[in-house]
Chains A and B, each alone.
Chain A
């Protein structure tokens, strides 16, 4: 899939936010996506959900091609695929009570719930909130409570697939732990499939079964989360993981220092060949000329890098 954005003032230039990403997500799993700013992970999430329309490529949900659907078919997709955003302060309408916010998807998809208030109270219990929160406004709730409401809003139609875009990044550490555990419980309870996007690698590793690493619009490595973390193959992944500060003084002291050089280039003018070659300590001639092919390491771990390509 590709998602390009136009650049104001220029007809030719495009921001190649997502530039040829192919992924599959298995039912019931959590696929994590990590990467730094500008790598395209948020755009990927939004485009998969059709909050943005792809420039090219396909999105296939449960064997149905939803790339270009409209109207009733699109609504049907959205009933089954939802999103939780990073900042609950802006994702909840400050002029609507919690009850109104939660009823919106119910009304939108014309779901019959019987007594609305009783239905809502039961739903609130699922995310650890009470009747007393129903008629409050977002500003009367804490960050953690707001995010619980955002999560409830996403699951209230019992979707199958949820894209979580930095769901805990704006929360305090101890609240983050509560929300992550809640997300895990809900996944088991309702057999949900998650696409978990975050810049926080420790959180992604904790939550995900498989993990994809993105750089400048492309996936550079993909595999089981533990495996990618313990034996990263792509040079960028190695730098990225080495940069994560670990809350363990002995380990950080004895860790080999690996600092990446330079700044990430602009997605308007990505470098030719392998996007990472200007900053890669192992860059070869071919890396500057051609984009690397997919190479398998073991049977579920893959990397896009000329170092591993079969001759």
Chain B
């Protein structure tokens, strides 16, 4: 594979040829098969796809959060640490990885309730996160810092809220608290997995706006996982469309939305109701997502693809360049 084996100058993360399998009683699930992508400083990259496409497993694998029966089979995850040193997260010691997780790389998951310990206040969560990585800080200092963080995420009366327990807050506030906690150590990379799926649309708008502002302020790289194309259009700079464990198309957000090349991307865009256009009928994709225990040979989308050729059935397509920054993994692009 002619993927870059080093980290570009303003890149904070580069995943190269990641392969994750789950060894279950039913068989071997090929959850992630040769996924590569990168994130630059200060940019927001979206991983878009439907259930089972591998977007969540990919991001968990980045910091080795894969447990048995899952196994990271191969790949590299290059990360530039705060001290400018470049490491392969899949190869460093457990100790060094622990220094990075929660500190230089932070996660925000879908359900804020399960991310928060019901027995501790929000202030304590922040205190814990900070002192895990900086030992010489007093409780008073972290309290002051926590109030500032909560203010940054637009929680009203932060001096009061910092002493709240999770159950004393609404869903939107909990999610904002989780974001505040994840930002405690000013990470270089924030991985947000469906961070607003369970929230009301008006709260979602507030949180997406918040994330965009903080991204600019902290110059963080963000990986945003979502199945909602509206959110992608609003928040992402670049998009990776995933299907059945592989990337099928990648590009700048305008390129993927206005010049989609992969049949799956095109069908996906046409199956989403855009409220600002009068639509006669929604396109749907016939068939179902394949089982990844025995993924189809060749291109994994071929059983559902209206343009599948003989080659698609037997050979997995490599990436073909469409324009600068825009690539798709589809044999239809071969001749061009």
Is A251 touching B276 in the complex (CB atoms < 8 A)? yes
Residues on A with beta carbons closer than 8 Å to the beta carbon of B279: 206
Is A243 touching B204 in the complex (CB atoms < 8 A)? yes
Residues on A with beta carbons closer than 8 Å to the beta carbon of B289: 172
Is A259 touching B206 in the complex (CB atoms < 8 A)? yes
A119 to B10, CA, bound (A): 65
Determine if B228 is an interface residue (Cβ-Cβ < 8 Å): yes
Determine if A239 is an interface residue (Cβ-Cβ < 8 Å): yes
Residue of A37, A173, A243, A263 near B50 (CB, 8 A) is: A173
Is B274 touching A248 in the complex (CB atoms < 8 A)? yes
Given A173-B227, A243-B202, A249-B253: A205 in contact with B268 (beta carbons within 8 A): no
Is B275 touching A246 in the complex (CB atoms < 8 A)? yes
Is B233 touching A206 in the complex (CB atoms < 8 A)? no
Chain A: CB-nearest residue to B52: A172
Is A247 touching B230 in the complex (CB atoms < 8 A)? yes
A144 to B202, CA, bound (A): 28
Interface string of A190-203 (1 = CB under 8 A from B): 00000000010111
Determine if B234 is an interface residue (Cβ-Cβ < 8 Å): yes
Chain A: CB-nearest residue to B272: A247
Q: How far is the CB of B270 from chain A (nearest CB, A)?
A: 8
Q: How far is the CB of A109 from chain B (nearest CB, A)?
A: 32
Residues on B with beta carbons closer than 8 Å to the beta carbon of A199: 200-201
Is B201 touching A243 in the complex (CB atoms < 8 A)? yes
Residues on A with beta carbons closer than 8 Å to the beta carbon of B156: 262
Interface size on A, residues (CB 8 A): 42
Is B271 touching A245 in the complex (CB atoms < 8 A)? no
Q: How far is the CB of A308 from chain B (nearest CB, A)?
A: 22
Residue of A180, A242, A263 near B282 (CB, 8 A) is: A180
Residues on A with beta carbons closer than 8 Å to the beta carbon of B315: none
Is A246 touching B273 in the complex (CB atoms < 8 A)? no
Closest 6 CB pairs of A and B: A245-B230, A243-B205, A36-B200, A247-B229, A177-B271, A177-B284
Given A199-B200, A201-B201, A262-B156: A249 in contact with B275 (beta carbons within 8 A): no
Chain B: CB-nearest residue to A226: B278
20 additional A-B pairs beyond A36-B203, A260-B206, A263-B173, beta carbons within 8 Å, are A36-B202, A172-B289, A173-B229, A174-B267, A180-B273, A202-B273, A202-B274, A203-B273, A205-B275, A242-B205, A244-B275, A245-B205, A245-B230, A246-B233, A247-B230, A247-B233, A249-B257, A250-B254, A251-B233, A259-B209
Chain A: CB-nearest residue to B235: A245
Q: How far is the CB of B146 from chain A (nearest CB, A)?
A: 20
Residues on A with beta carbons closer than 8 Å to the beta carbon of B131: none
Most buried by A among B232, B273, B274: B273
Is A247 touching B274 in the complex (CB atoms < 8 A)? yes
Residues on B with beta carbons closer than 8 Å to the beta carbon of A239: 202
Is A174 touching B233 in the complex (CB atoms < 8 A)? no
Determine if A229 is an interface residue (Cβ-Cβ < 8 Å): yes
Q: How far is the CB of A95 from chain B (nearest CB, A)?
A: 22
Residues on B with beta carbons closer than 8 Å to the beta carbon of A175: 284
Chain B: CB-nearest residue to A37: B200
Interface string of A135-158 (1 = CB under 8 A from B): 000000011100000000000000
Q: Which of B74-108 contact A (CB under 8 A)?
A: none
A190 to B156, CA, bound (A): 52
Determine if B1 is an interface residue (Cβ-Cβ < 8 Å): no
Enumerate 26 A-B pairs (CB-CB under 8 Å) in ascending A order. Answer: A36-B202, A37-B171, A144-B288, A173-B229, A173-B271, A177-B282, A177-B284, A199-B200, A199-B201, A205-B275, A240-B201, A243-B202, A245-B234, A246-B233, A246-B234, A246-B275, A247-B229, A247-B230, A248-B233, A251-B233, A260-B202, A260-B205, A260-B206, A263-B203, A264-B170, A264-B200
Residue of A244, A247, A249, A262 near B254 (CB, 8 A) is: A249
Residues on A with beta carbons closer than 8 Å to the beta carbon of B204: 243, 245
Determine if A252 is an interface residue (Cβ-Cβ < 8 Å): yes
Determine if A53 is an interface residue (Cβ-Cβ < 8 Å): no
Is B271 touching A176 in the complex (CB atoms < 8 A)? yes
Most buried by A among B229, B275, B282, B284: B275
Is B257 touching A247 in the complex (CB atoms < 8 A)? yes
Given A174-B285, A205-B275: A246 in contact with B173 (beta carbons within 8 A): no
Determine if B309 is an interface residue (Cβ-Cβ < 8 Å): no
Residues on B with beta carbons closer than 8 Å to the beta carbon of A247: 229-230, 232-233, 257, 269, 272, 274
Q: How far is the CB of B160 from chain A (nearest CB, A)?
A: 14
Q: Which of A155-192 contact B (CB under 8 A)?
A: 172-178, 180-181
Residues on B with beta carbons closer than 8 Å to the beta carbon of A36: 200-203
Residues on A with beta carbons closer than 8 Å to the beta carbon of B288: 142, 144
Chain A: CB-nearest residue to B289: A172
Chain B: CB-nearest residue to A39: B200
Determine if B332 is an interface residue (Cβ-Cβ < 8 Å): no
A240 to B208, CA, bound (A): 15
Chain A: CB-nearest residue to B228: A245
Chain B: CB-nearest residue to A252: B234
Residue of A144, A174, A246 near B274 (CB, 8 A) is: A246
Residue of B205, B206, B284 near A174 (CB, 8 A) is: B284
Determine if B73 is an interface residue (Cβ-Cβ < 8 Å): no
Most buried by A among B156, B202, B233: B202
Q: How far is the CB of B156 from chain A (nearest CB, A)?
A: 7
A142 to B274, CA, bound (A): 26
Q: How far is the CB of B139 from chain A (nearest CB, A)?
A: 29
